[in-house]
Amino acid sequence: MSNRTINFYAGPAGLPLPALERAKDELLDFAGTGMSVMEISHRSKEYDAVHEEALALTRELMGIPANYKVLLLQGGAHLSFGMIPLNLLRAGRKADYIVTGNWAEKAYKEAKLVGGDDVRLGGSTKDLKFARLPKTSELTIHKDSSFVHFTSNNTVEGTQWQDYPETGGIPYVCDMSSDIMWRPFDVTPFGLIYAGAQKNLGPSGVTLTIIREDFLEQCQAQDLPSYLRFKLHAEKNSLYNTPPCFGIYILRNVLAYNKSIGGLKVIEANNRKKGELLYGCLDRFPGFYKPFVTEKADRSFMNIDFFLPSEELTDTFVKEAKKAGMVGLKGYRDIGGIRVSAYNAVTVDNVKTLVAFMEAFVKKNG
């Protein structure tokens, strides 16, 4: 399909074309029901097969061990910001939060509302406008913390933890909304992982949550409203109430496609290639394109922020890119400049098209 727009939006973001085409083919008659998947019971065997497949593919693609539960929830990362302290900071438990960007700060502030002084700042680069991640020596991890919260990819600023922070063995709780499944990684140091689906996995409305059994056991929050209890969702296999069936169906399509192309190893290789192409271009024209992130080692493979010599040129860049079939390049309002979001569904060819445009733009305007 040649009339598909090349989509660099930060979120909701583009989805793999084959996952959408499958949805199109199955829309009016899902699994021989003569109805769409949106129109049938979440207790039907046809929906159940989708639900189970989405869970199983998540486990398989990420190599999730048996002592973790995979949950499909709602409320986005925002509801998780609150559910995590409500469930996990009971009984005098404490946590450290590493604040590395706009979203990490939100998670910290929401946790503070619940946990007060039991929620501590484990490190922050706010005084540097979050233009790099903290070094290990800049972290303050307390030995009595039950977990350390961090944000694996800082969507607004364009930094990404290539090696996860050093916590002396204290388990991680991690917001992976903008880079989940960008590469294979070892899940075992994580007590809980959560991710709104709308960047790397599917449409908005689904929050993938992966929780280790010992963390689940800590969630003895019987006095919380039912929906807020991780344990209840785990016991009910994410079917306590009506799940976001259509979102989960699209998630299933995306994951099945990811598996068909070779899984996370292949996806990682594509993402690394995309990063090399984009950062290679920025580094070739340092007098024209100025990266926002100051440490090369902290550069994100998902969100790439940079500035042009003037606001006028930035506007021209966005307008001309749109004419060339590429959208979503305007930087986040607090930072300005350009942000390229190159999530899993963005192809190497898409990035080659953008890089060719960027090179031509320098020649014309540099």
Ligand X SMILES: *Cc1c(COP(=O)(O)O)cnc(C)c1O
Q: Which stretch binds ligand X (CB under 6 A): 29-37, 89-97, 130-138, 174-182?
A: 174-182
Please indicate whether residue 199 is annotated as part of the active site.
yes
Smallest gap from residue 117 Cβ to ligand X (A):
24
Binding pattern for the stretch 230-249 against ligand X, x by CB under 6 A and - elsewhere: --------------------
Residue 78 beta carbon to ligand X: minimum distance, rounded to whole angstroms: 4
Q: Which of 8, 14, 23, 76 binds ligand X (CB under 6 A)?
A: 76
Contact 109, 158 (CB under 8 A): no
Shortest distance in whole angstroms from residue 240 CB to ligand X:
20
The verdict on 96 binding ligand X (CB under 6 A) reads no
Question: Which one of the spans 13-21, 74-82, 90-98, 240-248 is the region binding ligand X (CB under 6 A)?
Answer: 74-82
Active site residue 349: no
Which is closer to ligand X, CB of 151 or CB of 270?
151
Q: Indicate if 352 belongs to the active site.
A: no
Q: For residue 78, state whether it binds ligand X (rule: CB under 6 A).
A: yes
**Dihedral (CA of 136, 283, 278, 325) sign:** positive
Q: Of these, 196, 203, 244, 337, which contacts ligand X (CB under 6 A)?
A: 196
Which of 7, 58, 87, 155 lies at the binding interface for ligand X (CB under 6 A)? 155
Residue from the set 124, 151, 159, 314 that interacts with ligand X by CB under 6 A: 151
For residues 22 to 61, the per-residue mask of contacts with ligand X, x marking binding by CB under 6 A and - elsewhere, is ----------------------------------------
Catalytic machinery residues: 103, 175, 199
Residues lying near ligand X in the complex (CB under 6 A) = 11, 76-78, 103, 151, 155, 175, 177-178, 196, 199
